[in-house]
Amino acid sequence: MKQKLALVTGAGRGIGLETARLFLEHNIKTILVDIDEIQLDKAMEELNDELAISFVCDVTDEEKVNKLCNHILKEYGTVDILVNNAGIFRCDRGPFSNSISEHWRKKIDCNIYGTLYFTRALINPMIKQKYGSIINLSSITATLGAVGMVDYTLTKGAIKSFTKSLSKEVALNNVRVNSVSPGNIEPDNRYPEMSYMNRSGSYRECAQVIYFLASDEASFVTGEDYVVAGGRKKI
């Protein structure tokens, strides 16, 4: 059987790195993409796996994304699994009336356009081979809303809508498109009171859901949003 090839953006740390680790544990050749070369090198050193490949790329740069994806397709063949994880979260945490438009643009460029660029560049070979799984990272805030995070929640709501529509467009080609909406995912268990389980989620717990959606165990799942939030009760 052909060995699967996965690509994870924002893979230098956090959910992206843990997702890459889980793919590698299941013998999936995995391409890690991140804008931070130093962090990406640390991730590669930590993983220490011959199936791991890394590329530095700014997901907001359409030309660079297309160039990278063309190289990957030529060198390694079709990407079977795409995880659009790269994103900007940091918020001004103030009223929208005082928000800074440049901050909107940065989040929109990374969270929305980065997802669009990579998906468009890699989806046609998936359609041609009639196999593929795309997982987009949204957020529980896209459903619940959040004070002081209007621009961020806007971008994550867009990702949910994009996922729903694209899944319908490519379903007959056996290309599945789903999203994952994390809640409070923190390595040091900050803000445990935000979940009914009274704890934060781990990167691993979120990565396991992403892996499930990428795997053939989820072969009849598409157009869905999986919430990983421990019964999130407030923002």
- What confidence score (pLDDT) does residue 65 get? 99
Rounded to whole angstroms, the Cα distance separating 103 from 114 reads 16
What pLDDT is attached to residue 233? Answer: 62
Q: Over range 208-223, report the average pLDDT.
A: 99
Cα–Cα distance between 198 and 132 in angstroms, integer?
Answer: 36
Residues 46-81 pLDDT 10s:
999 999 999 999 999 999 999 999 999 999 999 999
**pTM for the structure as a whole:** 0.95
Q: Which fold has domain 5-228?
A: Rossmann fold (3.40.50)
Confidence at residue 98, expressed as pLDDT on a 0 to 100 scale: 86
pLDDT of 96 > 70? The answer is yes
Q: How far apart are CA 83 and CA 118, in angstroms?
A: 9
Answer yes or no: is pLDDT of 103 > 70.
yes
Consecutive H or E run containing 136: strand 132-137
- Give the pLDDT confidence of 189-199 residue by residue, as tens digits: 777 888 888 89
The pLDDT of residue 93 = 72
Burial 96-134 (b: 16+ CB within 10 A, else e): eeebeeeebeebbbbbbbbbbbbbebbbebbbeeebbbb
Q: Quick check: 1 pLDDT over 60?
A: no
pLDDT averaged over every residue in the chain: 94
Give the residue numbers marked as catalytic.
152
Mean pLDDT of 174-190: 91
- Find out whether 25 and 55 touch, Cβ atoms under 8 Å: no
pLDDT at 28: 98
pLDDT for 104-163, tens place per residue?
Answer: 999 999 999 999 999 999 999 999 999 999 999 999 988 888 888 899 999 999 999 999
Mean of pLDDT values over 81-89: 96
The percent of residues in the chain predicted with pLDDT above 70, rounded, is: 97
Please report the pLDDT score of residue 145 as a whole number. 86
Mean pLDDT of 33-38: 98
Across 211-234, average pLDDT: 93
**Which 8-state DSSP code applies to residue 185?**
B
